[in-house]
Chain A
């Protein structure tokens, strides 16, 4: 009888310890990573504590989400059976069309944000952006003249959002969702992961990073790259459940007469702003972070600082033209 009891004890101890060991090793094995290329960006996604089957399904759906928004927001080409921005930009004026709910919601969000941006953001800048692009791509030489840009229609009010996912253009405006699409898609991917109970993840879409809970009960370390030729890290942001996005003058630019002209255009001057080299935003929502950092890029650092300091749970860091670093109030908690 005694022997019987002790065998049970030995067995229980062995099983418990094996389970402990197994548990700690499956914790490690549950990291999966995938790389995608959409919206001109290499996107890297890591998910933790996930079994293989869930991983396959999750990566498949994430690919679908990014592909969807990539096609919907594309303004340079059409896709089979997709009514995207290219399609909208080429429809006749004063014609009601129905678009997919995903694109309607994205446009709806973007228009409301633009309307609250004091004229700093405008998704109807496509016609001006095309002029700049023709110079940047070398089709034309030098820089556009102000008259050439002024001629272009950028009146956002001519885009009418009707009910039931229907829209209508009142003039020949051209939409460009550059400041919104990537952040929006990244946010959708984050929401999707959380909906299937994957809460430990990193989505790294270039200027657009979103993280969930940490895989080791620590904090994610997110490096902010120096907006200069030597690509160093100038600040490390530590945090969980945040989105970090950056707008900078060092991506997609061209030089003329010793001056550089990047791809973000001020709707008021119709020229690229020169207030700073880059600005990064930390907040919980990636769509908002992406849109706000573009908006801050179009404001002086002082105005931007004032603006961000009035917001709750939004933090920003500026890298100025002369290499100084400016932080909004409370940024410290991520250092």
Chain B
């Protein structure tokens, strides 16, 4: 094999892999939501599939908790607590990530639920 052949093989490989990866990436994978709990009660559900970031407020133990959500991710922007751990944590976007604001008793989870396949009435 000469150099040109190698280059050709590599180019073909890269294009093919890029197509497959691109295809997989654009697969729709259900509805992505942020679930906001206060003391284990679901108080707010935010659709994260929207392409703009919006501001939400929920009532925490120490007052209002400001949440930024959109573009598939969510973060706590402002809250009243001694260490501000949860506002320092930044954005979460994966279904196994959570934001826990212990002093405010607020928990935010990501839920990547697919739509229901059927409903029994």
State whether B20 touches A225 (Cβ < 8 A): no
Interface stretch among B1-9, B39-47, B84-92? B1-9
Instruction: Say if the beta carbon of B96 comes within 8 Å of chain A.
Output: no
CB-CB under 8 A from B17, the residues of chain A are 17
Interface stretch among A74-82, A95-103, A137-145, A244-252? A244-252
Interchain residue pairs A-B with the least CB separation, the first 9: A17-B16, A6-B5, A223-B116, A204-B118, A220-B117, A6-B1, A223-B119, A209-B118, A246-B120
CB-CB under 8 A from A20, the residues of chain B are 20
State whether A207 touches B117 (Cβ < 8 A): no
A204 to B120 Cα, complex, angstroms: 8
CB-CB under 8 A from A202, the residues of chain B are 117-118
CB-CB under 8 A from A248, the residues of chain B are 121
Interface stretch among A8-16, A54-62, A104-112, A304-312? A8-16
Instruction: Say if the beta carbon of A314 comes within 8 Å of chain B.
Output: no
B1, B20, B24: the one within 8 Å of A17 (CB):
B20
A296 to B101 Cα, complex, angstroms: 45
State whether B121 touches A24 (Cβ < 8 A): no
Instruction: Say if the beta carbon of A221 comes within 8 Å of chain B.
Output: yes
Give, as a whole number of angstroms, the nearest-CB distance from B20 to chain A.
Answer: 6
7 examples of A-B residue contacts, CB within 8 angstroms? A6-B2, A9-B9, A13-B9, A17-B12, A25-B23, A220-B117, A246-B121
State whether A21 touches B120 (Cβ < 8 A): no
State whether A209 touches B120 (Cβ < 8 A): yes
Instruction: Say if the beta carbon of B102 comes within 8 Å of chain A.
Output: no
> Would you list which residues of chain B between 61 and 94 have a CB under 8 Å from chain A?
none
Instruction: Say if the beta carbon of A5 comes within 8 Å of chain B.
Output: yes
Give, as a whole number of angstroms, the nearest-CB distance from B118 to chain A.
Answer: 4
A279 to B62 Cα, complex, angstroms: 43
B2, B19, B20: the one within 8 Å of A2 (CB):
B2
A14 and B16 in contact, given A3-B5, A24-B23 (Cβ under 8 angstroms): yes
State whether B5 touches A10 (Cβ < 8 A): yes
CB-CB under 8 A from B5, the residues of chain A are 2-3, 6-7, 10
State whether A233 touches B13 (Cβ < 8 A): no
State whether B120 touches A223 (Cβ < 8 A): yes
State whether A224 touches B120 (Cβ < 8 A): yes
Instruction: Say if the beta carbon of A18 comes within 8 Å of chain B.
Output: yes
B1, B23, B121: the one within 8 Å of A5 (CB):
B1
State whether B12 touches A221 (Cβ < 8 A): no
Give, as a whole number of angstroms, the nearest-CB distance from A279 to chain B.
Answer: 11
B-contacting residues of A (Cβ < 8 Å)?
A: 2-3, 5-7, 9-10, 13-14, 17-18, 20-21, 24-25, 44, 46, 202, 204, 206-209, 211, 218, 220-225, 233, 236-237, 244-246, 248, 251, 280
State whether A233 touches B9 (Cβ < 8 A): no
Of A13, A21, A208, A221, the most chain B CB neighbours within 10 A belong to: A221
B9, B113, B118, B119: the one within 8 Å of A6 (CB):
B9
B1, B113, B121: the one within 8 Å of A206 (CB):
B121
A228 to B13 Cα, complex, angstroms: 57
Who on chain B is nearest to A14 by CB? B12
State whether A223 touches B118 (Cβ < 8 A): yes
CB-CB under 8 A from B115, the residues of chain A are 221
CB-CB under 8 A from A237, the residues of chain B are 120
4 other A-B residue contacts (CB within 8 Å) besides A14-B12, A209-B118, A211-B117: A17-B13, A207-B120, A218-B114, A221-B115
CB-CB under 8 A from B1, the residues of chain A are 2-3, 5-6
CB-CB under 8 A from A17, the residues of chain B are 12-13, 16-17, 20
Give, as a whole number of angstroms, the nearest-CB distance from A62 to chain B.
Answer: 16
Give, as a whole number of angstroms, the nearest-CB distance from A105 to chain B.
Answer: 26
State whether A222 touches B9 (Cβ < 8 A): no
CB-CB under 8 A from A225, the residues of chain B are 119-121
